[in-house]
Chains A and B, each alone.
Chain A
Amino acid sequence: MTKISKSVIDKIDEKHIKPIPKWQFVLMNVAMWTLFVATILLGGIATGIVILKLFNTQWALVPRVGSKFFIVLPYIWFGLLALMIFIGSKIFERTKKGYKYSHWTIAGVSILASIIIGCIFYATHTAENVEETMQRHVPAYKELQKIREKVWHAPEEGMLPGRIIEGSSETLIILNDLTGQTWEVDIEDARMPLNIRLKVNMPVLVTGEKTGDFEFKADAIRAHRNLPPPLERAIRRQR
């Protein structure tokens, strides 16, 4: 036995050193993979909500909103997606064979996986359910949504979301806006993209021009699927 091998065996004896049990390494490995899968799933949810938000955005109205549009973008979810990709990549690098792949490959695969899972979450309404749950149970998120919804409430810029409280004739409706104010809306020349029939209590988004104090002339009325769902929910909450 050489000097080193003797000193190693002596130290093992002296300090009663034993090999760490295999189950601890297996557990650590399983934990790593579980965390990695969790980051991919969270990234998938974030991607699903980003898709949901982007599909629900009324792109035709963006010019009216102007620079305020940037408030509407789902930064939180973009941020969560980026964070999950970063954390997921770091976790993957620490798995047994993770070091064999470049940072770009790992990040690319994480992004691709998040997009695929995000599409599935979007298609199965999971993303929508998560978003609604967040709005119901996370006060800060709810407040943020209110700020976002108010972007679409801009009578001066020609956008008036609200609920019809009276439709006395084919030319005039009475609308309660997001702030609870009542407006007289002239709808004589208004287009209705989906040939909708206006009804009392229907949430709508009227675009046109403010003609006076709480008076508005509509050039188009959007409802149903032409109305961003979060805005529709906000109008319904006004009841």
Chain B
Amino acid sequence: MSSAYLLKEIFYQKCSNILIDPPYFYMNQNTRKTDEQLVAASLKDKNTFAELVQRYEQKLSRYIKRLTNLNSQSVEDILQEAFIKIYKNLNNFDPTLSFSSWAYRITHNETLNYIRKHKNRNTTPLETDNKDLANLIDILESDTNIEAEVAQKEIAKKVRLLIKKLPKKYRDVIILYYLEEKEYSEISDILKKPMGTIATLLNRAKSKFKTLALKHNIVT
């Protein structure tokens, strides 16, 4: 094993708590494989599926939290069901799609199913961190000025409120585009809507978001 590799491994071990995706050089024999190769391998050996789960659990868990505001246990339940569904449907995976989009789609649907089943739970608020808020504030900064005197914390609070106020169809595209940083084609594959519709929804979502921001005096 080269010293460079060892250094990189030590670096990853030290930083793994702050990194979402493990860097390529740290990946073991299975994680070096592409998602598609792992899908094929999982069909032969279920234990390989654990690698796929590990590769996506943080991303998908974060996505569920962004869609809902459920506690960790509920998020884990949804995530587990989503992965079970992914496993059951491995033979239906279309390699012309990215595995990521497919996994996001199943997780999205599983989250909606959960919300439908548990109507009484408060699921509308959106969990956002500072990076998320910076992305959302970008929407407003593109052609409006945020009041200088408004404190950052105040903006954060209000932006969360605005997102909550958006209709679900707009919230979904905003989350996927600005927070999950997905391309139009990926959002189209996840939400199973034509790309043109995604572009329209995103434009309307941005416009609605800005209108709400004006109404709530976040921008002038």
Contact = CB atoms under 8 A, between A and B. Distances in A.
Interface of A: 1-2, 4-9, 11-13, 17-22, 24-25, 96, 99-102, 105
Contacts of B88: 17-20
A9 B50 contact: yes
Contact of B194 (A4, A13, A18, A102): A102
A1 B164 CA distance: 35
Given A8-B83, A99-B193, 11 more contacts: A7-B80, A8-B87, A9-B46, A12-B49, A12-B84, A12-B87, A17-B84, A102-B194, A102-B196, A102-B197, A105-B194
Given A4-B80, A20-B91, A96-B94, A12 B57 contact: no
Interface residues of B, number: 29
B57 A2 contact: yes
A96 B89 CA distance: 13
Interface of B: 43, 46-47, 49-51, 53-54, 57, 61, 76, 79-80, 83-84, 87-92, 94, 188, 192-197
Contact of B188 (A6, A7, A19, A100): A100
12 contacts: A1-B50, A5-B50, A5-B53, A5-B54, A8-B87, A9-B46, A18-B88, A19-B43, A19-B87, A20-B89, A99-B188, A100-B195
SS class, residues of chain A in contact with chain B: helix
A4 B91 contact: no
A50 B89 CA distance: 44
Contacts of B197: 102
